[in-house]
Structure 1
Amino acid sequence: MRLTVLGACGAWPAAGQACSGFLVERDGFRLLVDVGYATVPRLLEHCPANRVDAVFVSHGHPDHCADLNPLLRARSLGAARPPRPLPVYSLAGALDRVLALDRPGMLDDAYTLHEFGAGEQWEIGPFRAYTRLLPHWTPNAGVRLEAGGRALAYTGDTGPSPEVVELARGADALLAEASFADEVPEDSRHDLTSAADAGRQAAQAGVGRLVLTHLFPDTDPDAARAAATGAYRGDIAVAAPGLVVDLP
């Protein structure tokens, strides 16, 4: 299993960056996990739009799903012979607004929407996907992807929760939201996570490595990494475009 970071900014993309978007590959199958602002140009550096096999979206905030629109446009309008409809997995209603950006019916043949309830599990290509509802302002599904004896857990956006620990239990890697380094502002503590929180949860879950993502553009990556080491002693990386994590 290979994870390639396309973008990792929280809320809005910093100059030259992109928001949440991750390409997860196994046996030639390409699963795009989240597709936030500016991720499609990064994706196209790795593969054509018509070579994406499926998309999983954690929740409906635009920094996690806005670039679904240009992805579908590229598949629908950019080839003389459009590929088969793209399977897109999301919580019910999460993608209503982004799918309504174009005139009615324009992109209907470009995708097949599979809405799920958090807590469900199913197969996406070679991956077994397990989901959990995690606390956020809008319904957010964390996902655990297993294939070939390896496991990758991804939180989407979430406040600290025992559910994160259960989702990531024994995973080879945890891709964890860490909007802030040490402390989350009081009005967001139920809905967002600090790097220090992510480190504690990674230690409790016994994960093999921790990848911090969704840092706000003004959050210092070095400070975030240092905060996570307060509780977690394993390998820690800060997600940035081009980062590759192999789970052989």
Structure 2
Amino acid sequence: MRLTVLGCAGSFPGPEAACSAYLIEADGFRLLVDFGSGSLSALQRYAGLHAVDAILLTHLHCDHMLDACTYVVVRRYAPDGPYPPLPVYAPAGAPDRIATAYNISGESVDDVYTFYGLQPGSFPIGPLQVTVDRVNHPVETYGVRVEHGDRVLTYSSDTAPCEALLRLAQDAHVFLCEASYLDGVDNPPDLHLTGREAGEAATKAGVGRLLLTHLVTAWGSEASTFEAAASSFDGPVEIVRAGARYEV
């Protein structure tokens, strides 16, 4: 598999990165995991306007799904379109959420997307075997484990520490994990991870490589987050950047 980071900023786009969006490719198939604010621009820059065969939205906060609304225009009104409906795997409420954000009248987007409701479990998307489970976040949110052959990529989505995250990340070759909060401050509970907590999860799950994402750089410190993660995980640690590519 190949992972391309289209966006990695936490909560709102940063000066150098859109919000969460990650393109996973295998055998010519391209799965977009999350489609956050600003990431449609990055999709064109790093992959291509139509470089998507399916979409998985881990939850319905704007920084993880809002550009799925903008993408309606791309597929519905393209000069060589309209394009056929694109499979979208998402939490309950996604059709109404996207339709309402796109058009306040609640116009259906069923001509653009075919929706499949997420539930904990495993299922194929193209050549990929995908496992999702509910993680610790205020809205219905799923962490994601993607397998292809004998390779495993796990994505935390947004979560505080929880057992589901450890199960999804168990023995993953690459663990793409959020690290929104700074250690040593009074953070709200049951919302996000710190760098130390991301490193601890990576250690407990026995992952091969830890990639830190979803940092809110305007309010945090990349250096402190990296140091905290590296202090609790002995393997390779990296803070991802928009446009970065990784072979899994």
State TM-score, norm by structure 2.
Answer: 0.94
The yes-or-no answer on 1:163 pairing with 2:167 is: no
Partner of 1:115: 117
Q: Which moved more, 1:99-108 or 1:8-17?
A: 99-108
Q: Deviations over 1:177-197 (max 9, x none)?
A: 1002324634x2211110110
Paired residues in the alignment total 245
* Corresponding residue number in structure 2 for 1:180: 181
Q: Which residue is equivalent to 2:41?
A: 41
Question: Are 1:77 and 2:77 matched, yes or no?
Answer: yes
Per-residue Cα deviation, 1:189-240 (whole angstroms, up to 9, x for no partner)? 2111101100000001000100111101222222211110111011111121
Aligned: 1:239 with 2:212: no
Query: Which residue of structure 2 lines up, in the alignment, with residue 54 of structure 1?
Result: 54
Residue 68, structure 1, aligned to residue 42, structure 2: no
Q: CA deviation at 1:104?
A: 4.5
Alignment of 1:168-247 (within 5 A): 168-183=169-184, 185-186=186-187, 188-218=188-218, 219-247=220-248
For 1:164 and 1:200, the matched residues in 2 are separated by 11
* Letter aligned with residue 112 of structure 1: T
SS of residue paired to 1:229: helix
Mapped to 2, the partners of 1:36 and 1:240 lie a distance apart of 15
SS at match of 2:199: helix
Q: Is the 8 A contact 1:49 1:71 kept in 2?
A: no
Question: Secondary structure at 1:192's aligned position in 2?
Answer: coil
Quote the Cα distance in structure 1 between the aligned partners of 2:136 and 2:163: 10
The answer as to whether partners of 1:58 and 1:140 remain within 8 angstroms in 2 is yes
Compute the displacement of 1:113 (Å).
Answer: 0.7
Unpaired runs of at least 5, structure 2? none
CA-based RMSD of the aligned residues comes to: 1.5
Pick closer, same or farther for the CA change 1:183–1:21 going to 2, 3 Å.
Answer: farther
Q: Distance in 2 between matches of 1:104 and 1:135?
A: 30
Q: In structure 1, what residue type is equivalent to 2:181?
A: F
CA contact (8 A) 2:18 2:37 kept: yes
Give the Å deviation of 1:246: 0.6
Find the counterpart in structure 1 of residue 155 from structure 2.
Answer: 154
C-alpha displacement at 1:99, in angstroms? 2.4
Distance (whole Å) between structure 2 residues aligned to residue 8 and residue 184 of structure 1: 23
Q: 1:78 to 1:48 in 2, by over 3 A?
A: farther
CA contact (8 A) 2:75 2:81 kept: no
Deviation digits for residues 98-139 of structure 1, max 9, x if unmatched?
22222554633111011122x121100111110110010111
Q: Does 1:99 align with 2:99?
A: yes
Q: Which runs of 5+ in 1 are unaligned?
A: none
